[in-house]
Amino acid sequence: MSAIITPFPRPARVVQVGFGREELQRILDLYGRMVAAGEWRDYAMDFTADAASFSGFRRAAERPQARIEKRPALRSKQGMWTLFGEGDQVLKRGHELAGVLFPLERRLLKVVVG
């Protein structure tokens, strides 16, 4: 009589979407400039199986002033990058992060200049 050895079941690997090094560097650079301009004071990052998001806050207790979301499932459709405004309205979508961040960078220039 032989004993049957069953291995412990492996937990399912959770796939998580994240930001690449260059992407995160670009986002944090924008965050630093927004802090220097007095626009943002806090941030939050969220990573799920479907999307990664970065939110910039004027104050920690408020809703985010802007949210940058990376959703790879939309890569072949309207683009995997989305910029959301304060009321969760879509401000910009695109395939490139630089193009999606442009409305925030343009507003930053207005804050510094004017």
Q: Is residue 7 part of a domain?
A: no
- Structural domain span for residue 60: 21-109
Q: Is residue 11 part of a domain?
A: no
* Per-residue model confidence (pLDDT) at position 110: 62
Taking only the tens place, the pLDDT of each residue in 51-83 is 999 999 988 777 899 999 999 998 888 899 999
Select from 47, 42, 33 the least CA-distant residue to 62: 42
Q: Is residue 3 part of a domain?
A: no
For residue 22, pLDDT over 70 is answered with yes
14-23, 41-50, 102-111: which has the highest mean pLDDT? 41-50
Q: Is residue 12 part of a domain?
A: no
Dig out the tokens for 73 from the structure.
């499932």
Query: How many beta carbons lie within 10 A of that of residue 45, not counting itself?
Result: 13
Q: Is residue 13 part of a domain?
A: no
Answer with the residue of higher pLDDT: 32 or 8: 32
Query: Average pLDDT of 32-43?
Result: 91
Q: Is residue 72 part of a domain?
A: yes
Give me the number of domains the chain comprises.
1
Q: Is residue 85 part of a domain?
A: yes
Q: Is residue 14 part of a domain?
A: no
